[in-house]
A and B are shown apart, each in its own frame.
Chain A
Amino acid sequence: MPRTIQILPDAVANQIAAGEVVERPAAVVKELVENSLDAGARTILVRIEQGGKRTIRVGDDGSGMGREDALLSLDRHATSKIRSAEDLRGVGTFGFRGEALPSIASVSRLSLDTCARGEVLGTRIQLRGGMIGSVEDVARTPGTTITVETLFFNAPARAKFLSSPTAESRAVSEAIIPLALAHPGVAFALESEGRSLLDLPPAADLVERVLQLWGEETAGKLIPILAQDGEITVRGVIQRPDATRPGFRRAHLFVGGRPFREAALLRAADRGYRTTIPEKNRPWLFLFIESPRGTVDVNVHPTKAEVRFRDRKAIEELVERGVRAALEVPESAATFEARPAPPVLRVAEPPPRRLSPAETTERQMALFLTRYGADAAAEGSGDEVGHQPGEGEEERGAPPRLWQVHHAWIVAEVRDGLLLIDQHAAHERILYERVIGRFEKGGEVSQRLLFPLTLRLTAAECAMVEDLKGLLQRMGFEVEGFGGDTVIVHGVPSPHPYFDSERCFREMIAELTVGSELTRAARNQHERLAKSFACKAAIKAGQALMAPEIQELFDQLFATELPYHDVHGRPTTVRLGLGELERRFGR
């Protein structure tokens, strides 16, 4: 029988941060399930009683162990995975430290049944408080089952800190979920007192696993994200902006397939969502980071929930950019309801399209046009500009047909169904990006007025105008103080033919002076002004538009960076796919 478990050299053992890994049943479950995954299990069954305080049983169909290995596994610092200190810095498999099982055994009554693949007879080892009581033969199929009973029976002080069985059960479930997300192909089940808490058959991919866990409503509103920078890759699925809500969120990060926590990365992802969702909303995220050996230290803490990246900034940027890019595509638009077929994303497979950091609005436009018709875009470049055509996209026809309905929405016929566009929200997005661009590069034009606007404002508003004079000018407002509470506007921007410059100016200055949810959500002065202007200046709902104006609005929208999202965090467009239409008509 081959020996695959080695005793760690002392030097290595010392290098491992000391600390207890076993603090509550959930931690036990996590360690044992990780061991099962390391052993190549395809099915892992967890049973608990009393929230795991009485019994925890983890059974798998993994490779199992021979008797010698089984005994070694119960010895502190025995591990089958690490051969030297050098390996520690690289990618570790889960239970690398080999300290989990002995630690657990030391505070419980533990029994281990295991049978190595190809063997007929297995081994049963029983321990009490870490002392081996018996070692005997047992008949079982390949795999390992570990039963932990009366955890902390010999450490009453620790036992006292355990929560109610319900809370502990929930914690156990939460310990399994990240592992289940990282291994969609593995079946997981969790039972408590004979009741099934989790039942996750093998899934094709991450999205299907999410579907199993949280249902259609969640899984149907996820969009894939993929960003690459050199050897670092971020991929996964994130919540579509229209599905995000404030309050509780699911955010699971993985590096090298192992869950970790890092608030800074979540913040980076949230930055990527900026302006596409209300400030208080917390998008769900499932992100897998692949980073080459040597750039990440996963052994910072014994519970292994934290990791240290050599270049965290780079990863944060990549996450932010990846989220941003994911929100640029039509799939990020709101749909009528969760799509019948959730997007397919196989975490283990090569990405559908690669994102280059320098992609610009032109690409967006071209992407849109290749997708929805118009030969024009292809003529000029002959290049697919980073977009690999999918099924049916080679059929290019006339530009999308557009209709305005109820003087508020635009309906566009597109290749795979209908797009419904909120004309005000869409124009907000257009103006927002335009103003931001003007702040950076200048070049706005101002319509001179025959009769300059003479506006009486409050003292605070006058001061605000004085402060913002330079920026207002860059937006196209040529303003001059007139002493006292009066300002004179000689020139105004003219974002559309129905623009009411005085009203826009007054409302914008009032909003900036008093503050609003919108302006408070802005990161800086430029954003604040751009948002306020976009909101006040955009074409209103109720405004009848002529055909060329509708076309213009449509074209401009899809020339923006984030055409599917307005500046309040609401969608600009809702998609009604042909599939959905057919389904609704029972086709």
Chain B
Amino acid sequence: MTLHPLEGHEDARAAVLRAFLAGHLPSVLLLHGPTGVGKQRFALWIGQLLLCEQLQPSGPCGGCHACILALRVEHPDLHWYFPVPRPPARGSPERDQEALEEVRSERLAQRRETPLRPSYSDEVQGLHFATIRNLRREASRRPGMGPRRLFLVADAEALVAQESAQEAANALLKVLEEPPTDTWFVLTASEPGRLLPTVRSRASPLYLPPLPVTRVREFLRREWSGAGEAEIEKAAELSGGAIGRALGFLKDGEDEGPLERTRQEAFFLLRAALDPEAAGRFSRALEFDPFGARSLHEILTLLETWMRDLAAVAAGAETPILNVGAREWLSRTAGERDLHALPLARAVQVVEAARERAAGNVNPQLIVAHLLLELNDALVNRTGRVLAASQSEVS
């Protein structure tokens, strides 16, 4: 399979191309911007640019041998590193490194097979020390085929928050400090604030902004022929201008997309919050795993879209809603429950607070139970409660 064409980011493309042609392209770049906006795809485009044998004023030619291999992510000088789940330990750094390379190899094959995939993962992944050691060994050699080469280190935030983080970050740092000749590094991060300051300070930042929703919609129509118009409409609205995010709402074969499943979870949460029976709310909370708030974070983000839509409908606004197709339910619910924009706005804050907690290491059952109680108070009982009281009720 060949990579789909890079969508949008014309300004950034032009800037990179200009800098490269002038011989000023910084050898360490940090691409940052929302999840799913196409940072890794953009980095691969830079790789293609560096490797193209017949570079055009408009960018890589797309037809030369180097471009063909780059577009298939099979160019020997285009090195793509990304977080992977840690394989079972094999007992020594060398053998762990081997195991990690095997995992990366498998994942790389998957990415070549389906280059267009949702930017979503509920796995625990990391950029491990062994991976960076592999990168360092590769970097010590000169390029293998072309005159230049590119190392893409995706989701560079994953260098932290794991036990060998310091070692991995230091190992990367050592290469970034003195980049080999004819070698470029592109790091990507959706939360650049979480990068190690030492790593961040060595990279020139380049921001990739969200795309207009219309661009996302057009792209989906063009590249995702299997989906119906309503589905595409909804995915584009919810995408936040990120194609990778939009893909999460589209059907994956027979299955719902991972973000669509999450959106439905969020909907059930909203319904539970409106449930006058406390028992219903608690049983809903108990459906969550007591560990790992990872997926909860995304659910709460999507819950906010539901709250926002509900508020918009309750206020009688004619603006388009994000959860396309749910307008009828929203207006019916707003009417039946006599919901108004003000308490709904307050409820959004409650969700925000819960999302903060989910980012920390709090038991998701607890977070959800507490959240539902507070939402219920805000929307149904219209009373305020102190945190302590609700917490004791939960425990």
Contacts and interface: CB of A to CB of B under 8 A. Distances in A.
Contacts of B170: 510
B197 to A, nearest CB: 13
A442 interface: no
A541 B166 contact: no
Interface string B94-121: 1100100000000000000000000000
Interface in A368-413: 408
A408 B93 CA distance: 12
Interface string A79-108: 000000000000000000000000000000
B201 interface: no
A542 B92 CA distance: 8
A128 interface: no
A477 B223 CA distance: 61
Interface in B173-198: none
A541 B94 contact: yes
Interface in B14-72: none
A117 interface: no
A542 B95 contact: yes
B92 A408 contact: yes
Interface in A477-525: 507, 510, 514
Instruction: Give chain B's interface secondary structure class.
Output: helix
A215 B92 CA distance: 34
A408 B89 CA distance: 14
Nearest to A507: B167
Contact of A542 (B94, B166, B167): B94
A453 to B, nearest CB: 14
B91 A424 contact: yes
A339 interface: no
Nearest to B93: A540
A540 B92 contact: yes
Contacts of B167: 507, 510
Interface size class on chain B is 10 to 19
Contacts of A510: 166-167, 170
Contacts of B91: 408, 422, 424, 541
B369 to A, nearest CB: 31
Interface centre among A408, A424, A542, A543 (most CB of B within 10 A): A542
A422 B170 CA distance: 29
B101 to A, nearest CB: 13
Contacts of A542: 92, 94-95, 98
A507 B174 CA distance: 14
A510 B94 CA distance: 19
Contact of A514 (B90, B93, B166): B166
A422 B92 CA distance: 11
Interface residues of A, number: 10
A449 B12 CA distance: 49
Contacts of B98: 542
A251 B59 CA distance: 75
Contacts of B90: 541
B137 to A, nearest CB: 12
A408 B94 CA distance: 10
Interface centre among B90, B92, B93, B94 (most CB of A within 10 A): B92
A228 B269 CA distance: 70
Interface string A535-555: 000001111000000000000
A510 B163 CA distance: 13
A377 B167 CA distance: 46
Interface in A275-313: none
Nearest to B91: A541
A477 to B, nearest CB: 20
Interface string B131-171: 00000000000000000000000000000000000110010
A187 B15 CA distance: 89
A542 B94 CA distance: 6
A253 to B, nearest CB: 37
A424 B92 contact: yes
A408 B92 CA distance: 9
Interface string A418-437: 00001010000000000000
A439 to B, nearest CB: 27
B166 to A, nearest CB: 7
B340 to A, nearest CB: 54
B98 to A, nearest CB: 8
A507 B164 CA distance: 11
A514 B93 CA distance: 19
Contacts of B92: 408, 424, 540-542
B277 to A, nearest CB: 36
B174 to A, nearest CB: 9
Contacts of A541: 90-92, 94-95
Contacts of A514: 166
Contacts of A507: 167
A50 B92 CA distance: 55
Interface centre among A422, A514, A541 (most CB of B within 10 A): A541
B92 to A, nearest CB: 3
A510 B173 CA distance: 15
Contacts of A408: 91-92, 95
Interface string B70-99: 000000000000000000001111110010
A422 B95 CA distance: 14
Nearest to B170: A510
Nearest to A570: B91
Contacts of A422: 91
A334 to B, nearest CB: 15
A510 B174 CA distance: 15
Contacts of A424: 91-92
12 contacts: A408-B91, A408-B92, A424-B91, A424-B92, A510-B166, A510-B167, A510-B170, A514-B166, A540-B92, A540-B93, A541-B92, A542-B95
Given A424-B92, A540-B92, A541-B94, 17 more contacts: A408-B92, A422-B91, A424-B91, A507-B167, A510-B167, A510-B170, A514-B166, A540-B93, A540-B94, A541-B90, A541-B92, A541-B95, A542-B92, A542-B94, A542-B95, A542-B98, A543-B94
- Top 10 nearest A-B pairs (CB, nearest first) are A541-B92, A542-B94, A540-B92, A542-B95, A541-B91, A540-B94, A542-B92, A541-B95, A424-B92, A541-B94
